[in-house]
Every structure is written in C-alpha cells, then in structure tokens.
Structure 1
C-alpha cells in the first residue's frame, strides 16, 4: 500500500506535497531541468495511482486547464467559465465555436483509455491511420525518435513531428503528445500536464529548445496538479461522507456523476425525479458544503465538486 492510499484509508485526504527541493530549485541548466521534471513525474505517478483521488474528475479538471491554455495562446478571450458554458449548454445541432471545440477535444481525449478510436473521437480532423502511425512510431510520419529517450523527449518529438506535417493542428499535436507521455509512463488515460505549462512561443521551438520547454512545462504544472488532486480527494471524501444521508431517489447516481464530471447542470441529473428535484438536490449539496455553484448566476447554473 502506498503512502497515499494508506492516508486515504485512515480518513486523511492530504496527499504529500512535492518536496521543497523540487518546487524551489532554480532550473537553469538542461540537466537540472530534466532531473526536476523526472522527479515531478515520479511524484505524479503516485498521485495518479492514488485510490482516494477521483481520477476521472481530476482528468476533466486538467483537461479544462489545458483547453484554457490552448485558447489563451491562440489569442482568444474565453476562459474556464466561458468554456464550460460553451459545452454544457449545447443543444443537438449546435456548434460549440472554436474555443468550445478545443475544450470538447480535450474532454474527449481524457474520457477513455488511450487508443486510436478514442483519440480519433477527440481529433476527428485526423484520420485514424494518422493517429495509429503517431502512436506506433512508424509509417509516413518520421517518428523514429518517439520510441527513444524518456517520456518528455518522446512527447516533444510528437509535437515537433505533427506540427511539421500539419502546422495548424496545434491542439492535436498537444493531445497526441499527452497520450505519448501517458503511454511512456504506463498510464491508461492521458493526464494533461504539458499543455497547461507551455508558453505562447514554445510550440514554435524545435529540437533541444522544444524538449527544454516541455521539461519546464511539466515542472510548472506539477504543483498545481498535485494541489488539485489533494483538493479533490478532500472534497470527494466529504461528499462520500454525506451520501448515505441523502434520501432522494436516484441520489447515489447523482453523487457518482459529481465525482466524475467537472461541471453539471441540474438537468443532467436524470436519475432524479424531475428538474425541480434536481435543482433542490444541488442546492442541498451546496448547503452541506460538499459541492459548489460554479457560475455565480441565478439561472443557467452549473455545479461541481
């Protein structure tokens, strides 16, 4: 049993922080940066495997951060709240818009285990054969470097190769890089780390400069990802604690949704008897302090852990 799982089983929901020598170190040389990013990934490997952390929800929150970073680098004004709105209130036949489509791609990428079919669902503009080639490291793309070196080296090679072939597919390049990173770490799902830490000009870099930028991006994202995992573990434990007291029919299914989704409109809680019952249920959970209303609005509200 790991330190994390033991702490959770004993009712504690605080994961260990990254060591101070990681968070305070001055990463000045390429060797130092690579060493620190390796230390960060080793720590996050424990976080990703911790049973007390709602992993599906963690991936969704990290996907939102990655989408926001992509949209910001593209010079668009939308931030997390607008991205949530663009996706949560879509009606059949509606278009999510450029920013919303970016968020949808990230959400779909983290929903299912890594496979060609799952990534094609997230990136429909790429043919399945292209995605398979990227993941296998052979074929018409020159990905000979993808199977060599550490996880960050492979991820940087993916970004560089995809953007050399299709320069406008920056989101696709980053999602595929996250998939390569996860595969290299033996993670079943992509866990967005690189994209939130990359700076505006990093995707124009190549070779050693891009690899260095990717190392720095992982270091920059690690503290926030660990903090987020700790916060979600604590909130999930509180929600689990009140769940047996909830008497509404369908409450168990609704609680499970809150433990898996970044944000929900009451209408998404279809296990409850009506929209009115769903709204009351959400308000009750807010009163109990186990979920939050995320928009600050009186109407078209969204709720989440």
Structure 2
C-alpha cells in the first residue's frame, strides 16, 4: 500500500468517516452483505495508507482486541489488562501463560510483513509447510471461491475442519488470507475481532455471510480507532521537543509502535528512574496514559 502523506504540523487531524449506509447495513442476503463489506474494506484501505495514523500501533491495538476474542473462545477469563500484564511484564526466562501466549501469537502475526516465514514465527507450533498448505488450498485464484472475504472464510473453515479446537489458529490464518487477497503488506486483525463462537460453528454460505458482517463491524471499529490514535500520536509528536531527557526521541518512537510500554523497556533513557520520570512527564503533558491504575508495575500507552 502506497502511503498517503499528511501535514505533520496539524493538531486537528480528522479522518473521513465511514458512510452511514455502511455503518447501518440491512439485509442478510450474501450479495448484500458482500457489497457492504467491500465498501467497508475500501474505506479502511484509505485509512491504512495514511502516514498520520500510527499503523504499527493500530495493528497492535486490533491484535489485542482479537486476542480477547481468542481467549474467550478458549474459555479463559483474561481481558485486555491481564493480557498486557502477561506479556509486557515478562522477565527473561518467564513463560507468558496460555492467554499471554495467544497474545504473543497475534502480536507477532501483525508485526512483520505477510509471509509464511513470518507466520511460522508467530505460530511456531505449526510447521511452515502446514500453514502454507492451509492458505494455498483455499487460494481463490485457483478454486474460484470469490473475493477476499470468501477466501478468508474458506481458510477458516478448512483450518477448523482439521483443527476444531484451534480457533485462534483459524482466525489468524483467515486474517492472513484476507490481507493477502487485498494486497496489504501486514495482517490487520478484522475477522479475529469480529466473529462470535456461534459464527465459528457455521460452514459454507452462512459462514461467509458471518465473515462479511464481521468485516463490516471490525472495519468500522478500526476506522474509529485509527482516528483516535492519529490525534493522540499528533499530540505526542507535538510535545516531543519539550522533552529534555537524552534518548527521549527513541522512547517516543516506541510509544508510537506499541500498545503498552513498561518503563523498563525504554532502554534509551539509560536508567529505570529516568524512564519513569519521562513516562510521568508525558502523562502530565497529556501525551500518553497510564493504563493500569497501579502505583507499581505501571504500563503506559498512547
């Protein structure tokens, strides 16, 4: 996707809203929902090429949303705050636990450009050849299964047929297939955050209809999230010249790419004390938020 450049000096960044006829869809016929999802994806594509949107951060936030769905499907109680703790507060040699592992799967899936090698890195429990086979056997260019959402639905159905209890695997691969079909460089979690347990029990046309609905809902949410992050990123960039700490620039870049940051991760600040002081300063300036509400083991994010 070719980036669309914007004026970096603007602090009133606005993104075009999704048309109301997309946000209030009617009908359940396949051709109707397919039209709506195509319109939603076309609008989202324009958002994903804007340079004023912190794209890596947007993908991480959507990955967190998708992980909450995957964790709920596995019957576990963890939510966003628990998932952040499970991954961001890990020490060397620690294991993240089942929910944290799911979060790592999703984060790594969106981190690198789409490829089987990157996908295997995100899902090391599955051989690269097996991952490629699931994607290849449902390649719409060869099977005639239609557009991007139809291909993603076919991949999801194939994975769940082979691995009925691996919902997160099916959802990640479905979003990979969607990104590949749309020509996107990175996975953007849409189906992973939009499908319900009931949807995942469907097959054939009912599953395709559910996937189209999920894409519309997730594209609307992603557009709203992108607009919010663009404004927050602009604020953070605007206050960066006020930061006197050595290494503050590298720290700011980390905030613009990660959903949550622990002060210990700000290695450019040279000390934990300097990192904590910078985080508190950014909170005072209204540029980042403290995400935990705790006095210790705090996490910060745009």
Structure 1-normalised TM-score?
0.94
Correspondences of 1:83-232 after superposition (within 5 Å): 83-135=83-135, 137-138=136-137, 143=138, 145=140, 147=142, 148=144, 149-232=146-229
> Contact 2:10/2:234 (CA < 8 Å) preserved in 1?
no
User: Partner of 2:165: helix, strand, or coil?
Assistant: coil
Which string of whole-angstrom CA distances, capped at 9 and with x for unpartnered residues, describes residues 86-139 of structure 1? 11111222221111111110000001001111101111111011122233x14x
1:283 matched residue in structure 2: 280
CA RMSD of aligned residues (A): 1.8
**What is the CA distance between 1:5 and its match in structure 2?**
4.3
Structure 2 unmatched ranges of 5 or more: none
Q: Which of 244, 257, 270 in structure 2 is aligned with 1:273?
A: 270
User: Partner of 2:216: helix, strand, or coil?
Assistant: helix
> Contact 1:56/1:111 (CA < 8 Å) preserved in 2?
yes
**What is the CA distance between 1:11 and its match in structure 2?**
4.9
> Contact 2:28/2:209 (CA < 8 Å) preserved in 1?
no
Q: How far apart, in 2, do the equivalents of 1:280 and 1:226 lie?
A: 33
1:292 matched residue in structure 2: 289
User: Partner of 1:271: helix, strand, or coil?
Assistant: helix
1:86–1:262 CA distance, 2 compared to 1 (3 A) = same
**What is the CA distance between 1:6 and its match in structure 2?**
4.8
> Contact 2:11/2:235 (CA < 8 Å) preserved in 1?
no
2:48 matched residue in structure 1: 48
> Contact 1:146/1:155 (CA < 8 Å) preserved in 2?
no
**What is the CA distance between 1:12 and its match in structure 2?**
3.7
Q: How far apart, in 2, do the equivalents of 1:35 and 1:304 lie?
A: 36
**What is the CA distance between 1:146 and its match in structure 2?**
6.7
- Structure 1 stretch displaced more, 26-35 or 113-122: 26-35
**What is the CA distance between 1:273 and its match in structure 2?**
2.3
**What is the CA distance between 1:74 and its match in structure 2?**
2.4
Q: Does 1:66 align with 2:63?
A: no
> Contact 1:264/1:303 (CA < 8 Å) preserved in 2?
yes
Structure 1 unmatched ranges of 5 or more: none
Which string of whole-angstrom CA distances, capped at 9 and with x for unpartnered residues, describes residues 217-236 of structure 1? 01111221111000000011
**What is the CA distance between 1:21 and its match in structure 2?**
1.1
> Contact 1:146/1:154 (CA < 8 Å) preserved in 2?
no
1:84–1:65 CA distance, 2 compared to 1 (3 A) = same
Q: How far apart, in 2, do the equivalents of 1:204 and 1:274 lie?
A: 51
Correspondences of 1:9-20 after superposition (within 5 Å): 11-20=11-20
Q: Which of 238, 252, 257 in structure 1 is aligned with 2:254?
A: 257
> Contact 2:73/2:167 (CA < 8 Å) preserved in 1?
no
Which string of whole-angstrom CA distances, capped at 9 and with x for unpartnered residues, describes residues 140-181 of structure 1? xxx365753100000000001111122222111111111110
Q: How many residues align?
A: 299
> Contact 1:116/1:131 (CA < 8 Å) preserved in 2?
yes
